[in-house]
Chains A and B, each alone.
Chain A
Amino acid sequence: MHLTDKLYDTFIVDDRWKYLASGLKTTLIITFFAVIIGMVLGFLIAIIRATADRTGKLKIPNLLCKLYLTVIRGTPVMVQLLIIYYVIFASVRIDKTFVGILAFGLNSAAYVAEIVRSGIMSIDSGQFEAGACLGLNYRRTMLYIILPQAFKNILPALANECIVLLKETSVAGYIALEDLTKGGDIIRSLTYEAFLPLIAVALIYLILVITLSRLVTLLERRLQKSDRG
Chain B
Amino acid sequence: MIEVKNLQKSFGDLHILKGITTTIEKGEKVVVVGPSGSGKSTFLRCLNRLEQPTGGTIIFEGEDLTKMSEKRLYEVRERMGMVFQHFHLFPHLTIRRNLTLAPTKLGIMSKEEADRSAAAMLEKVGLADKADAYPSQLSGGQKQRIAIARALVMNPDVMLFDEPTSALDPEMVGEVLALMKQLADEGMTMVVVTHEMGFAREVASRVLFMESGRIMEENEPEAFFTNPENPRLREFLSKVL
Contacts and interface: CB of A to CB of B under 8 A. Distances in A.
A58 to B, nearest CB: 14
Contacts of B137: 228-229
Given A137-B71, A145-B101, A229-B134, 15 more contacts: A124-B86, A126-B86, A130-B89, A133-B48, A133-B50, A133-B77, A133-B80, A134-B154, A136-B105, A144-B105, A148-B92, A149-B91, A225-B134, A226-B92, A228-B137
Given A152-B92, A228-B137, A136 B102 contact: yes
Interface of A: 124, 126-127, 129-137, 140, 144-145, 148-149, 152, 225-229
Interface string B37-56: 00000000000101000000
A132 to B, nearest CB: 7
A127 B74 CA distance: 15
B70 A137 contact: yes
B86 A140 contact: no
A99 to B, nearest CB: 39
B88 A135 contact: no
A137 to B, nearest CB: 5
Interface of B: 48, 50, 70-71, 74-75, 77-78, 80-82, 84, 86, 88-94, 101-102, 105-106, 134-138, 150-151, 154
A51 to B, nearest CB: 13
Contacts of B86: 124, 126
Prevailing SS type, chain A contact patch: helix
Contacts of B151: 133-134
Contacts of B70: 137
Given A126-B84, A227-B136, A134 B77 contact: yes
A208 to B, nearest CB: 30
Given A225-B134, A228-B137, A229-B136, A137 B74 contact: yes
Contacts of A152: 92
Contacts of B50: 129, 132-133
A136 B74 contact: yes
Contact of A144 (B101, B134, B138, B154): B101
Contacts of B90: 127, 130, 145, 149
A135 B78 contact: yes
Given A135-B74, A135-B77, A136-B74, A226 B93 contact: yes
A110 to B, nearest CB: 27
Which 4 pairs across A and B sit closest by C-beta, in order of nearness? A135-B78, A229-B136, A134-B102, A130-B88
A225 B92 CA distance: 9
A127 B102 contact: no
A134 B136 contact: no
B154 A135 contact: yes
Nearest to B93: A226
Contacts of A148: 92
5 contacts: A135-B75, A135-B78, A140-B105, A226-B92, A226-B94
